[in-house]
């Protein structure tokens, strides 16, 4: 069966520190991978998506970057965190033209 | 530019009554719509979907209605139960893109009271 792992679950980081959030998918090949953010009191905002290894598309200009070093691994990074980067980060995957996403359990990031 | 809008941030409903959640979209190319349910500190889980070739899809207590001319869809939960208390997200996709890139609304917090 397919599963998605996302870690850590909670993270508190000082302003200006780096960030690395990892997401891995099991049980499927060549998934579409996504990073979403839910800021406090707001909906889900698509940050990045990837349709294959090394292929990253950014939806909004921001302080973050994403990489896909392996087929089932998606990493969200920042060199220097801002206060505005605080939020709930969600990784998700889908396959082909299947429009239903499976989401990870999320990472609560607080930048202090 | 918010292409999917959920204009009601919250909804309170009594247990056993109907919950009606609304969603509007602006992109006429959207042809597949989904509803997700989210509990605090968890990822959203898929609830129900509808293709633009239909105007209604039902799954147990959940029914989604689509009005393409009005660019409007709604989710009905009947009867509402305390476990339905969660945030509900509406999402939409364009199949011509060939893969599932979803645009989400801002969500509606549903509280089911005893």
Average predicted confidence (pLDDT) for chain A = 90
Q: Does A106 touch chain B (CB under 8 A)?
A: yes
Q: Does B47 touch chain A (CB under 8 A)?
A: no
For residue B38, pLDDT over 60 is answered with yes
For residue A55, pLDDT over 80 is answered with yes
Average predicted confidence (pLDDT) for chain B = 92
Q: How is chain B split among helix, strand and coil, in percent rounded to 5?
A: 5, 55, 40
Confidence band (pLDDT; 50, 70, 90) for A99? low
Taking CA–CA distances from A88, the nearest residue in chain B reads B41
* Residues paired with residue B23 on neighbouring β-strands, in sequence order: B73
In this predicted structure, what is the pLDDT of residue B99? 56
Please confirm whether the linkage preceding A4 is cis (ω < 30° from 0).
Answer: no
What 3-state class would DSSP assign to A7?
Answer: strand
Q: How many CB pairs under 8 A join A and B?
A: 67
Radius of gyration of chain B (CA): 14
Place of tokens 């359990």: A105
Residue A49, both tokens = 């998506």
What 3-state class would DSSP assign to B71?
Answer: coil
């Amino acid at each position: 069966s397919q599963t998605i792992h996302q870690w850590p679950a909670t993270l508190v980081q000082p302003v200006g520190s780096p960030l690395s959030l990892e997401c891995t998918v099991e049980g499927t090949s060549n998934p579409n991978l996504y990073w979403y953010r839910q800021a406090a009191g707001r909906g889900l905002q698509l940050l990045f998506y990837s349709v294959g290894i090394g292929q990253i598309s950014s939806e909004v200009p921001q302080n973050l970057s994403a990489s896909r070093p392996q087929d089932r691994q998606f990493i969200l990074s920042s060199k220097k965190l801002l206060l505005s980067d605080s939020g709930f980060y969600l990784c998700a995957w889908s396959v082909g033209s299947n429009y239903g996403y499976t989401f990870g359990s999320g990472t609560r990031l607080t930048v202090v | 530019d918010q292409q999917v809008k959920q204009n009601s941030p919250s909804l309170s409903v009594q247990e056993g009554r109907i919950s009606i959640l609304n969603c509007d979209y602006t992109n006429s190319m959207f042809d597949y719509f989904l509803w997700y349910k989210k509990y605090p500190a968890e990822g959203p889980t898929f609830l129900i979907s509808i293709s633009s070739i239909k105007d209604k899809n039902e799954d147990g207590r959940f029914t989604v209605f689509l009005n393409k001319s009005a660019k409007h869809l709604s989710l009905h939960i009947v009867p509402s139960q305390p476990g339905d208390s969660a945030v509900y997200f509406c999402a939409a996709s364009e199949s011509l893109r060939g893969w599932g890139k979803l645009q989400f609304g801002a969500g509606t917090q549903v509280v089911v009271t005893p």
